Structure 1
Amino acid sequence: MSQVPIYDTPILGMATRPRLSKAIEYGNVVNFWVEYPSGLIDLTRSQHLTADGVEPSLVSLTQLDIPVTGDRTIRVDKSKAAVVIIDMQNFFLHPELRVHKTGLACVDPLLKVIGPLRKQGVKILWVNWGLTDQELKTIPPAVVRGFMKGGFGGFGTEMPGNFGRLLMRDARNSELYGPLQEEYLKGEKEGTDVWIHKNRMSGIWGHQTALDLYLKENGITTLFFGGVNADQCVSGTFIDAYFQGYDCVMVEDITATTSPAGGLENVLHNAANSQGFVTNTSNIINASG
């Protein structure tokens, strides 16, 4: 049997590759990473690879070293990092509207990781569906159809009880679920949390979306992702951010989906082996001190 060429699938398998034998710099003069034989991947863009290949020391005041899958550790600049929490809203999580056990299971670890990250100066971005009446006129038919059931309902229609119009701004169904809404309001008051509306599955799907504008205006380059659903809005935003050159890290235990088995696993596989990195809240909390 012939051996599979070493470059057969060059962008896959990053989470299973052995550590490097010598340091390598990726990218260009302005936008670059440096990976070292120790397993450290420096995403801070603060120091180019030196001639002797010596690994720089962690500057704990401004940087975090966070373990990721694949026996690697990423070094991030706190001031250039943000957590992107997607669609943890009543519409997707509230028991009166749907059954989403795995999504609800993400609430507790999410609440536990937010505090340490705030203390480190990492921004918390709550990226949610939040439509206006004007946007209802411009949403493509494929997206409209996907949110209807049997030809009924859909964006902007009244929901049962007091949940308001479906995924419209300021409606109860568009609020964050349970304690997450309170947590956001706390962070908003402290100046650490930002609510960002989106009008597609991806929060960064087109030119100058609200999320993309915020990231560029604030010089943010490294994004930690979580939310629901993993293989829909979360992965859509994750992949678009990857295409646009952001450093993308999926946080496994705050990411969930209602899809059949394989949906979440596929997202995590591609995040770790092709598009970026995968970590968990324990790694982040331990790194945050």
Structure 2
Amino acid sequence: MTRLHMAIPTSIEETLGLLEKCGPRAVVIAGGTDLVVELKDKLKSPKALIDIGRIPEIRGIKETEDGEVWIGALSTHAEIASSTVVKEAAPLLADACAMVGSPQIRNRGTIGGNISTASPAGDTIPALYVLEASVEIVGPKGKRVVPIESFFQGPKKSALAPSEIVLGVKFPKLGKEYVSFFRKLGQRKSLAISIVSVAFAGRCKEPGLLTDVRIALGAVAPTVVRARTVENAICNTKLDPKSLEYVSKLAFRDCVPITDVRGSLGYRQTMACNLLYEGLLEMGRVQKA
């Protein structure tokens, strides 16, 4: 039996040293909600586990000096969902985190883990796309910042090198004129992996007229994708229920899903359009109330 080594560093510098020493078969663990399953199913066979849960510099949620929001990689989904800073600056991200798994998963799982796993079904990722977030990374060559859309390169593939770790994410706050929502579809109402998810944000100066529209779709392509066809159709256009139905159906043009045990290609395309339509329609009702 291969011996599995465990290390618990207390600083970023110590972590990077351990990654360099242990090589590519070292795996970083924080909440462990995905990794433990992969170890149990023998999908990964690391030489060493490096537990970064005791590094204070990568924990916390705060407003930065330049007016943006920074969320440390060790922040749990439960912490983000209940954060006043996030609820005010990016309510769709708080909503997305509130829909992740079970209470136990939300209390253990971290946003850094959700990003590093690079699953196209990750619930926080469409919201981060819409927020036009950046991922802060550190490695032997120092720190670097990668736009969220450039970070993901395919299913379970990212711009993160084996010798690097995620420090956190940073994004501009949505202004008071912005409306937003996050919706997901699973095989049940809760405790489910997304079959399809939709994140939306847009600037609304007057009812029915949106500018700076941003829409991201999850679990419908090798990575989360921006629905730019729909964005262009909605932007600067007066919308009513009939036109909303038409533009929502354009979402299928940005979908290239697979068929798997959770849903077929056609079902995912249809439900991406439906979730977007329902979200936009509900948003319109709230504005008129």
Structure 1 length as normaliser, TM-score?
A: 0.25
Q: Identify, as 1 or 2, the structure richer in helix.
A: 2
Q: Identify, as 1 or 2, the structure richer in strand.
A: 2
Question: Greater relative contact order: 1 or 2 (C-alpha under 8 angstroms, separation 6 or more)?
Answer: 1
Structure 2 length as normaliser, TM-score?
A: 0.25
